[in-house]
Structure 1
Amino acid sequence: MKRVLLGALSLFLCMTAQADKLVVGITLHPYYSYVSQVAGERAEVLPVIESGFNPHSYEMQPSDLRRLSRMDALVVNGIGHDEFVMHALENLELPNLTVIYANQDLPLLSSGRGSNSYNPHTFVSIDAAIRQVYTIARELGQLDPDNASYYQANALRYARELRAMKNRYLGRILELDLSGVRIASTHNAYGYLLQEFGIGIDTVIEPAHGVEPNATQLQDTIERIRAANIRVLFTELDMENRYVSVIEDATGIGIYHFSHMTHGEYDADLVMREMEHNLATLVKALTTAVSP
Structure 2
Amino acid sequence: MRNFTLLLVLLASMPAVADKLRVGITLHPYYSYVSHVIGDRAEIVPLVDAGFNPHSYEMQPADLKRLMTMDALVVNGIGHDEFAFRALDTLQSQLGEGSNLTVIKANADVPLLASANSQGAWNPHTFVSISAAVRQVYSIARELAKLDPDNGRYYKKNAVQFARDMRNMKKRYAEQLFGLDLKGIRIASTHNAYGYLLQEFGISIDTVIEPAHGVEPSASQLQKTIDRIRKADVQVLFTELNMDNRYVKIIEQATGIRIYHFSHMTYGAYDRDQFSREMEQNLRTLVLAFRQYAGNSASIAGGSQ
Q: Which residue of 1 aligns with 2:100?
A: 96
Say yes or no: does 1:273 pair with 2:277: yes
Query: How many angstroms does 1:212 deviate by?
Result: 1.2
- Letter of the structure 2 residue corresponding to residue 51 of structure 1: A
Q: Greater CA radius of gyration, 1 or 2? A: 2
Q: Which residue of 2 aligns with 1:130?
A: 134
How many Å separate the matches in 2 of 1:17 and 1:29?
34
- Letter of the structure 2 residue corresponding to residue 169 of structure 1: Y
Say yes or no: does 1:81 pair with 2:85: no
How many Å separate the matches in 1 of 2:144 and 2:85?
20
Q: Which residue of 2 aligns with 1:29?
A: 28
Q: Which residue of 1 aligns with 2:302?
A: none
* Superimposed CA distance per residue, residues 123-165 of structure 1 (whole angstroms, 9 cap, x where no aligned partner): 0010000000000000000000000000010000010000000
Query: How many angstroms does 1:19 deviate by?
Result: 5.6
Question: Does the CA-based 8 Å contact 2:64-2:91 persist in structure 1?
Answer: no
How many Å separate the matches in 2 of 1:17 and 1:237?
49
TM-score relative to the length of structure 1: 0.92
Residues 2-81 of structure 1: pairs in structure 2 closer than 5 A: 20-81=19-80
- Letter of the structure 2 residue corresponding to residue 83 of structure 1: E
Say yes or no: does 1:189 pair with 2:188: no
Q: Which residue of 2 aligns with 1:242?
A: 246
Say yes or no: does 1:165 pair with 2:164: no
- Letter of the structure 1 residue corresponding to residue 35 of structure 2: S
Say yes or no: does 1:110 pair with 2:114: yes
- Letter of the structure 2 residue corresponding to residue 64 of structure 1: D
Find the residue that maps to 1:87 and give its secondary structure. Answer: helix
Q: How many pairs does the alignment contain?
A: 279
Say yes or no: does 1:140 pair with 2:144: yes
Structure 2 unaligned segments of length 5 or more: list them: 1-10, 93-97, 297-305
**Once the two structures are aligned, what percentage of the paired residues are identical?**
67
Question: Does the CA-based 8 Å contact 2:116-2:208 persist in structure 1?
Answer: no
Higher alpha-carbon deviation: 104-113 or 128-137: 104-113
How many Å separate the matches in 2 of 1:282 and 1:51?
27
How many Å separate the matches in 1 of 2:18 and 2:235?
55
* Superimposed CA distance per residue, residues 11-59 of structure 1 (whole angstroms, 9 cap, x where no aligned partner): x9xxx99962100000000000000000000010000000011111111
Query: How many angstroms does 1:172 deviate by?
Result: 1.3
CA 133–18 in structure 1, closer or farther in 2 if over 3 Å, else same: farther
Higher alpha-carbon deviation: 224-233 or 130-139: 224-233
Find the residue that maps to 2:270 and give its secondary structure. Answer: coil
Find the residue that maps to 1:108 and give its secondary structure. Answer: coil
Find the residue that maps to 1:92 and give its secondary structure. Answer: helix
Say yes or no: does 1:226 pair with 2:225: no
Find the residue that maps to 2:260 and give its secondary structure. Answer: strand
Match of 1:263 among 256, 261, 267: 267
TM-score relative to the length of structure 2: 0.88
Query: How many angstroms does 1:227 deviate by?
Result: 2.2
How many Å separate the matches in 1 of 2:32 and 2:17?
21
Q: Which residue of 1 aligns with 2:182?
A: 178
Find the residue that maps to 1:74 and give its secondary structure. Answer: strand
